[in-house]
Every structure is written in C-alpha cells, then in structure tokens.
Chain A
Amino acid sequence: NAGVTQTPKFQVLKTGQSMTLQCAQDMNHNSMYWYRQDPGMGLRLIYYSASEGTTDKGEVPNGYNVSRLNKREFSLRLESAAPSQTSVYFCASRTSGAQETQYFGPGTRLLVL
C-alpha cells in the first residue's frame, strides 16, 4: 500500500514548455486534490476532483488543467510554464465519512526558468 504517489520528484522547465504532473492513490478514495506551496503563502488549492469524472477549480487554477483519468489517477498539466509557477506541488486524496482526512503525496519540486 503506497498511499499517494507523485512523479516526477523534481523538474526543471524553460518558460513556455509544457509538462504533466502525475498523481496516483491506492486507497480507493473518491476525492483528490492538487495544491501548490510557496514560501509565506501556505498550501493553496489549484484544482480538485470530488469523484471520478468530475473536476473543479480551487483558489489558484489559472495556468493549469487537470484530468481525473480514473478513480486512482489525477494529473495536473501546465500548458505553457511561467516562472510564477515555480513551486512545490502536492497531490492529496481524501477519505470519506465522518472522519474524513486528506493524505498527501511526497510532492514535486518544479523550477521554471
């Protein structure tokens, strides 16, 4: 049981390049989330998916797209990377029920030059 996994761990892009961050969970959770974390800003929600086949914008969605490929996988795409997207990206999935809890993946460090 690996929990939440993310690939890659680290990536360097040039401005204008595109890439997809991958996330998968093996806990059979319905809801999945993408956050970015920047110094002094805390964790901010980019997009989330309440269930397979649905996605919704979070607090900072501009410049990103997402795909909920199936129940396990939720990817984040940067179509044209900008230096402002330099950040650490975390994927999370959530249990359901009365004691719902979010569990985080190890993160992807992205540097856009």
Chain B
Amino acid sequence: QKEVEQNSGPLSVPEGAIASLNCTYSDRGSQSFFWYRQYSGKSPELIMFIYSNGDKEDGRFTAQLNKASQYVSLLIRDSQPSDSATYLCAVNRFFDTASKLTFGTGTRLQVTL
C-alpha cells in the first residue's frame, strides 16, 4: 500500500463546475496535509494546507480532512481552464529533528470549455 494514494486521472470537468480531488494516506501519525498544484514543466506551488478535521476554505478552494478515515480532499468551485494542472496531495510527519512530506503521484485535472 502506498503511503499517499491519489487517482491519477485525468479528471475532466466542464468550466464552472466543481472539481473534487481525493487523497488517502496510510500513516495515522501524519500531522498536516497539503495540496500543491503543478503545471506542466513547472514546480509545485502550494494551494492549501489543513491540520484539523473538517473543512478549510480559501477563495474557490476548500480542503476537507477526515483523520478517522485517513482521507483528504480538495474541492475547486467554479472551475476555470487555468485550473487545468496536476494536483499533488502531501502529508507531513515529524521525525527526530525534521518534518518530511510524502507526496502522492498526483491527479491530473482538465477543465473543458
């Protein structure tokens, strides 16, 4: 079992719709959870992070965390063509003197006109 699992996609949604991206993780000791967006040929850029169970909203983005189910999701409302990218889920755990992120392989999102 992979530590962080994501459906590779592509997930195709029409412009203006809600895109729902999902991620599961195996390590119950994971402390914080991140969503990164990566455009083709570019580096990952942080969209949101979440630490506590429940929802966290930032503009068109909502992150949802359920630690009991070991599940993190990202909702993108009013999807735009510019949202077309690969979305990476990452979980963080503190080891000794440093924290380390473990990444999923990403879900490719396509927003169609």
Contacts and interface: CB of A to CB of B under 8 A. Distances in A.
Given A51-B97, A106-B42, A107-B43, A42 B49 contact: no
B97 A42 contact: no
- Which secondary structure characterizes the binding site on chain B? strand
Interface of A: 31, 33, 40-45, 48, 50-51, 54, 56, 58, 90, 94, 99-107
7 contacts: A40-B8, A42-B4, A43-B90, A48-B100, A50-B97, A102-B101, A104-B43
Nearest to A109: B41
B99 interface: yes
B17 interface: no
A101 B46 contact: yes
B92 A100 contact: yes
Interface of B: 4, 8, 32, 34, 42-46, 49, 88, 90, 92, 96-106
Nearest to A39: B105
A41 B104 CA distance: 8
Contacts of B102: 45
Given A40-B105, A42-B105, A43-B88, A100 B100 contact: no
Contacts of B99: 31, 94, 100
Given A43-B88, A43-B90, 14 more contacts: A42-B103, A44-B103, A45-B100, A45-B101, A50-B97, A50-B98, A54-B97, A94-B99, A101-B46, A102-B34, A103-B46, A104-B43, A105-B43, A107-B43
Contacts of A43: 44, 88, 90, 103
A12 B97 CA distance: 35
A66 to B, nearest CB: 13
A87 B46 CA distance: 22
B103 A48 contact: no
